[in-house]
């Protein structure tokens, strides 16, 4: 697949969609002033970003449902690099929560000098690829992914939004942010959301009661979010996101790759990813094969 210049922008080599990003929005992110009490959730695309947009306001405000019922997710917890940020930044409640798909080396200088905390959410790359394949079908501002097999090559070559998954993970796993960074996985959240919420709450020093944790877990379940119009992207016109082709909140499970990958594809995928992670000291939370 050759990358469409009409649809995508390259910012210092990083591929982003023009519909949601501009050179100005990326420069705005570079000049963004992080506050010490800001919280940033970083994800490679399709790792559970909108899940964090639901979770963070509730954890930070003690479980008050108002934001998730009244503010669309992209304004409630905006993307650092997207066009929306400049428009909504003044309206963000403190402590501010943001999300980002940027690799660590693209973070603005003020992030590095601030004490802002970051949650790096990782997901099994095989499930990311499956989720992304369907997302490319439903989002009119992304290129047609071609066949599943063709998209696998595109994904493995890193000719996709925000580049190679392995480069993203390496950049954040090696960021050496000490106690400013917490690592969590999508799979951990699927398996036991209350436990994941306790970890997030402890990391952010929120001290939530068990009752509040259970309430947040209920409101951040896949089923509840799928029915929340402020979080399921149903407010976006169908010409941009066509949920009849594939819903944004599609399956919400771990291991969907098993119904998509042939044994040859699994071998190819595993071989490329393992090679690119060779010599890295951080552990992977899942086996690659
Ligand atoms: S994006 O476009 O990068 O912002 O997408 P992102 O939000 O990172 O990832 C979308 C996938 O996350 C799933 N999701 C959830 N899974 C389980 N529980 C909850 N509450 C939840 N919210 C979002 C969503 O369904 C996409 O995964 P797939 O595998 O396609 O279902």
Task: Please work out whether the CB of residue 255 comes within 6 Å of at least one atom of ligand 1.
Answer: no
Q: Kindly give, in sequence order, each residue whose CB lies less than 8 Å from that of residue 265, ignoring residues fewer than 6 positions away.
A: 149, 152
Task: Identify the domain containing residue 82 by its residue range.
Answer: 8-276
Asked, for residue 1, whether it belongs to a domain, the answer is: no
Q: Is residue 88 part of a domain?
A: yes
CA of 26 to the centre of ligand 1 (A): 24
> At CA 148, angle to CA 139 and CA 153, rounded to 5?
100
Question: What are the C-alpha distances in Å from 262 to residues 46, 157, 224, 277, 289?
Answer: 21, 19, 33, 22, 12
* 282 within a domain of the structure (yes/no): no
- Does residue 2 sit within a domain? no
CATH number at residue 55: 3.40.50.300
Give residue for tokens 């003690």. 62
Asked if residue 131 belongs to a domain, the reply is yes
In a domain, 30, yes or no: yes
Determine whether the shortest distance from the Cβ of 256 to ligand 1 is under 6 A. Answer: yes
Number of structural domains in the chain: 1
Asked, as a colleague might, if the bond just before 42 is cis with ω within 30 of 0, I would say no
pLDDT per residue as tens, the chain (289 positions): 457 889 999 999 999 999 999 999 999 999 999 999 999 999 999 999 999 999 999 999 999 999 999 999 999 999 999 999 999 999 999 999 999 999 999 999 999 999 999 999 999 999 999 999 999 999 999 999 999 999 999 999 999 999 999 999 999 999 989 999 999 999 999 999 999 999 999 999 999 999 999 999 999 999 999 999 999 999 999 999 999 999 999 999 999 999 999 999 999 999 999 999 999 988 888 887 7
Query: Do the domain assignments include residue 83?
Result: yes
- Ligand 1 mean position, distance from CA 134 (Å): 11
Q: CA nearest 228: which of 99, 90, 58?
A: 58
Best residue for ligand 1 mutational test, from 80, 222, 224, 255 (most atoms within 8 Å of Cβ): 222
Residue 165 lies in a domain: yes
Q: Is the pTM of this model over 0.95?
A: yes
Please indicate whether residue 186, judged by its CB atom, sits closer than 6 Å to ligand 1.
Answer: no
């Amino acid at each position: 697949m050759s990358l469409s210049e009409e649809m995508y922008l390259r910012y210092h080599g990083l591929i982003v969609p023009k519909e949601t990003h501009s050179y100005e929005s990326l420069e705005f992110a570079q000049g963004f002033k992080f506050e010490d009490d800001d919280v940033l959730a970083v994800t490679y695309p399709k790792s559970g970003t909108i899940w964090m947009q639901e979770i963070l306001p509730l954890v930070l405000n003690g479980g008050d449902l108002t934001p998730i019922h009244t503010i669309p997710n992209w304004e409630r917890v905006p993307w650092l690099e997207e066009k929306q940020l400049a428009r909504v930044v003044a309206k963000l409640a403190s402590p501010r929560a943001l999300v980002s798909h940027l690799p660590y080396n693209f973070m603005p200088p003020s992030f590095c000098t601030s004490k802002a905390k970051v949650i790096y959410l990782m997901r099994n790359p095989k499930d990311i690829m499956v989720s992304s394949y369907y997302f490319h079908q439903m989002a009119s501002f992304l290129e047609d992914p071609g066949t599943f097999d063709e998209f696998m090559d595109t994904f493995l070559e890193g000719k996709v939004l925000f580049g190679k998954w392995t480069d993203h993970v390496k950049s954040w796993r090696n960021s050496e942010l000490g106690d400013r960074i917490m690592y969590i996985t999508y799979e951990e959240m699927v398996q036991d959301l209350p436990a994941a919420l306790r970890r997030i709450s402890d990391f952010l020093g929120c001290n939530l009661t068990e009752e509040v944790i259970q309430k947040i877990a209920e409101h951040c379940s896949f089923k509840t979010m799928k029915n929340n119009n402020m979080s399921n992207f149903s407010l976006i016109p169908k010409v941009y996101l066509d949920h009849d082709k594939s819903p944004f909140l599609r399956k919400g499970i771990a291991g969907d790759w098993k119904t998509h990958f042939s044994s040859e594809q699994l071998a190819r995928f595993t071989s490329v990813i393992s090679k690119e992670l060779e010599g890295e000291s951080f552990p992977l939370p899942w086996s690659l094969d």
